[in-house]
């Protein structure tokens, strides 16, 4: 099979993964979720015309020429309803958020007034009708849709939900995710240190990536490179919505993952993508499960997660922003590339007056996990590039926990 381009692989994945069903969550537990149904306002807000300032509610005609002296007829606090009508030559002292009294059509800020003898105030400024008045329904009108389905729940959105008294509401479910590592050479986290073994890290790095999307994965452990054992583990993994298997997807004689998945009824959609690191990526679908065969190399597995798994999981959870935010940076040093595949170089970002500067995190070997641990972002090198000079403009995907965008933002 030919290597797919990154965008082709991503399209196949995004066409295949289902949108999760809805479930009800409480407001307190909703941060980061995505609304599965629109939410409407349950009242006009503000419910009446209110003052936007601490000051005096006046008839604008009374302050057409200033200074003007007005008689204060009452004090209106936020939470109190006015009891009097403002007549010619009168005003009411009013606080921010308090309802406008009948008769008045504008507010003068306290800073534009001077206290006179008891009961009177001098107004030093003329204003137009409506000045510093927030009209009824300015924030929202009863019955109008304030949040559409597909809205990602940020702290600001939580505030709006609280405003319309949405104590619980429908969001898309989070898919269940299982993580499985494979390889005879791997030493489990809780195994004694054996100098001949390779410490297993993919399970945990992937766990962190899954958790960063708000999902708590189930860790299945390590399956040995033995078909019967691998089959048992994979079978267990196929109970989940998403199964991430790392290692054993390549062309080694003990790489049993793909044939075993196929034997279990997983329809493999592709294998191998023209990217570096991470080309032995495989993807398939079973009845309910989307299966990602991730490369065993620790950096490759993480990069494949970023580029292919994270967008899929976000799409399943109803997000419309699937991709890492991209920024433009200048390259701190020259780099050479072999054309033919899209490269994801781990970089650190610094800033100067002209913007971001990207520099490599060191050895870009797909086994050197430090390159990922140190990275602020992935610099994406188009597949036709043979190299870049110092100072050239590059696109960097930020490896930040929560910031995503709608466009993929780079050229492959
Ligand atoms: P594989 O894809 O199984 O051929 O593995 C490629 C490389 O990644 C080998 O050097 C493995 O030892 C290493 N590797 C595979 N799985 C893991 C893992 N879970 N943790 C750390 N290294 C791994
Ligand atoms: Mg292996």
- pLDDT digit string, tens, across residues 199-221: 999 999 999 999 999 999 999 99
Q: Is 75 inside any structural domain? A: yes
Task: Identify whether residues 250 and 379 lie together within a single domain.
Answer: no
- Gap between the terminal Cα atoms of the chain: 20
Q: Is 411 inside any structural domain? A: no
Q: Is 1 inside any structural domain? A: no
Task: Identify whether residues 178 and 238 lie together within a single domain.
Answer: yes
Q: How many CA atoms lie within 13 A of 241 on its CB side?
A: 19
DSSP-assigned letters across all residues of 265-319: T-EEEEE-BSEES-TT-EEEE-SS-EEEEE-SSHHHHHHHIIIIIHHHHHHHTT-
In the three-class reduction of DSSP (H, G, I as helix; E, B as strand; rest coil), residue 203 is classed as helix
Q: Is 412 inside any structural domain? A: no
Task: Identify whether residues 261 and 191 lie together within a single domain.
Answer: yes
Distance 186 CA to ligand 2 centre (A): 9
Cβ-contact 137, 88 below 8 angstroms: no
Distance 279 CA to ligand 2 centre (A): 15
Q: Is 333 inside any structural domain? A: yes
Helices (H), 165-297: 202-212, 227-237, 257-263
Task: Identify whether residues 307 and 335 lie together within a single domain.
Answer: no
In the three-class reduction of DSSP (H, G, I as helix; E, B as strand; rest coil), residue 385 is classed as coil
Cβ-contact 35, 153 below 8 angstroms: yes
Task: Identify whether residues 240 and 305 lie together within a single domain.
Answer: yes
How far, CA to CA in Å, does 370 sit from each of 51, 146, 156, 310, 362?
57, 45, 36, 21, 8
Q: Is 410 inside any structural domain? A: no
Task: Identify whether residues 122 and 261 lie together within a single domain.
Answer: no
Task: Identify whether residues 189 and 308 lie together within a single domain.
Answer: yes
Q: Is 377 inside any structural domain? A: yes
The pTM of the full predicted model, rounded to 2 decimals, is 0.93
Task: Identify whether residues 244 and 313 lie together within a single domain.
Answer: yes
Taking the C-alpha atoms of residue 346 and residue 343, their distance in angstroms, rounded to an integer, is 10
Average pLDDT over residues 46-68: 98
Taking the C-alpha atoms of residue 366 and residue 118, their distance in angstroms, rounded to an integer, is 80
pLDDT tens string 312-346: 999 999 999 999 999 999 999 999 999 999 999 99
List ligand 1's pocket residues with C-beta within 6 A: 181, 183, 185-186, 198, 200-203, 246-248, 250, 252, 295-298
CATH assignment at residue 30: 3.90.105.10
Average pLDDT over residues 352-369: 96
Does 249 score more than 80 pLDDT? yes
Cβ-contact 6, 109 below 8 angstroms: no
Cβ-contact 319, 313 below 8 angstroms: no
pLDDT more than 70, % of the chain: 100
Distance 366 CA to ligand 1 centre (A): 10
Taking the C-alpha atoms of residue 54 and residue 94, their distance in angstroms, rounded to an integer, is 6
Task: Identify whether residues 281 and 252 lie together within a single domain.
Answer: yes
Of the listed ligands, the closest to the CA of 280 is: 1
CATH assignment at residue 380: 2.40.340.10
User: 253 falls in which pLDDT band (50, 70, 90)?
Assistant: confident
**Kindly report the CA angle at 399 between 412 and 154, in degrees rounded to 5?**
115
CATH assignment at residue 195: 3.40.980.10
Taking the C-alpha atoms of residue 310 and residue 305, their distance in angstroms, rounded to an integer, is 6
Task: Identify whether residues 289 and 313 lie together within a single domain.
Answer: yes
Taking the C-alpha atoms of residue 24 and residue 30, their distance in angstroms, rounded to an integer, is 10
End-of-domain residue from the set 172, 187, 219 = 172
pLDDT of the residue at 401: 80
Mutate to test the pocket of ligand 1, among 209, 296, 302 (most ligand atoms within 8 A of CB): 296
Mean pLDDT, all residues of the chain? 97
Distance 107 CA to ligand 2 centre (A): 74
Domain count, the chain: 4
Of the listed ligands, the closest to the CA of 293 is: 1
Cβ-contact 206, 179 below 8 angstroms: yes
Does 1 score more than 70 pLDDT? no
Distance 73 CA to ligand 1 centre (A): 80
- b/e map 168-185, b = 16+ CB within 10 Å: ebbbbbbbbbbbbbbbee
As given in the structure block, the two tokens for residue 284 are 């398939």
- Rounded to whole angstroms, the maximal C-alpha distance in the chain is 97
How far, CA to CA in Å, does 175 sit from each of 180, 242, 271, 308?
16, 7, 23, 15
| CB within 8 Å of 20: residues ≥ 6 apart | 172, 173, 174, 175, 241, 316, 317, 318
pLDDT tens string 364-388: 999 999 999 999 999 999 999 999 9
Q: Find the range with the poorest average confidence among 32-41, 97-106, 222-231, 396-405.
A: 396-405
As given in the structure block, the two tokens for residue 306 are 């970023």
How far, CA to CA in Å, does 161 sit from each of 147, 252, 320?
8, 53, 20
Query: Residue 35 sits in which domain range?
Result: 23-44+141-172
Taking the C-alpha atoms of residue 46 and residue 52, their distance in angstroms, rounded to an integer, is 11
Nearest atom in ligand 1 to the alpha carbon of residue 295 is: 2
Taking the C-alpha atoms of residue 330 and residue 349, their distance in angstroms, rounded to an integer, is 9
Task: Identify whether residues 123 and 240 lie together within a single domain.
Answer: no
- Per the listing, tokens 């004694």 go with 192
Q: Is 364 inside any structural domain? A: yes
Task: Identify whether residues 252 and 343 lie together within a single domain.
Answer: no
End-of-domain residue from the set 172, 187, 218 = 172
């Amino acid at each position: 099979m030919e290597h797919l381009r990154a965008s082709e692989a991503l399209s196949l994945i995004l066409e295949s993964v289902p949108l999760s069903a809805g479930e009800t969550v409480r407001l307190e537990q909703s941060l980061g979720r995505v609304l599965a149904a629109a939410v409407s306002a349950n009242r006009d807000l503000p419910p009446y015309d209110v003052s936007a300032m601490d000051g005096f509610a006046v008839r604008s005609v009374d302050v057409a020429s200033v200074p003007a002296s007005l008689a204060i007829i009452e004090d209106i606090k936020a939470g109190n309803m006015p009891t009097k009508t403002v007549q010619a030559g009168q005003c009411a002292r009013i606080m921010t958020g308090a309802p406008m009294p009948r008769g008045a059509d504008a507010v003068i800020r306290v800073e534009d007034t001077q206290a006179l003898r008891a009961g009177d105030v001098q107004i030093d400024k003329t204003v137009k009708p409506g000045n510093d008045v927030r009209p009824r329904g300015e924030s929202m009108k009863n019955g109008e849709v304030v949040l559409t389905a597909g809205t990602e729940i940020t702290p600001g959105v939580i505030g709006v939900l609280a405003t319309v008294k949405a104590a619980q509401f429908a969001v898309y479910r989070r898919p269940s995710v299982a993580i499985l590592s494979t390889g005879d050479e791997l030493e489990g986290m809780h195994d004694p240190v054996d100098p001949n073994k390779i410490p297993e890290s993919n399970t945990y790095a992937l766990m962190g990536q899954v958790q960063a999307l708000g999902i708590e994965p189930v860790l299945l452990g390590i399956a040995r490179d033995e078909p019967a054992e691998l089959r048992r583990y994979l079978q267990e993994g196929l109970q989940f919505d998403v199964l991430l298997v790392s290692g054993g997807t390549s062309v080694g004689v003990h790489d049993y993952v793909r044939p075993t998945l196929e034997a279990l009824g997983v329809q493999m959609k592709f294998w191998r993508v023209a990217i570096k690191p991470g080309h032995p990526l495989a993807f398939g679908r079973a009845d309910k499960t989307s299966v990602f065969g991730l490369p065993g190399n620790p950096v490759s597995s993480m990069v494949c997660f970023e580029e292919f798994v994270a967008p899929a999981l976000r799409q399943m959870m109803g997000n419309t922003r699937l991709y890492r935010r991209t920024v433009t940076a200048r390259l701190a040093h020259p780099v050479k590339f072999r054309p033919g595949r899209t490269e994801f170089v781990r970089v650190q970002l610094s800033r100067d007056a002209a913007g971001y500067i990207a520099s490599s995190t060191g050895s870009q070997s797909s086994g050197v996990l430090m390159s990922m641990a140190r990275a602020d972002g992935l610099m994406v090198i188009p597949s036709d590039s043979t190299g870049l000079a110092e100072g050239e403009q590059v696109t960097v995907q930020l490896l930040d926990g929560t910031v995503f965008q709608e466009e993929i933002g780079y050229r492959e």
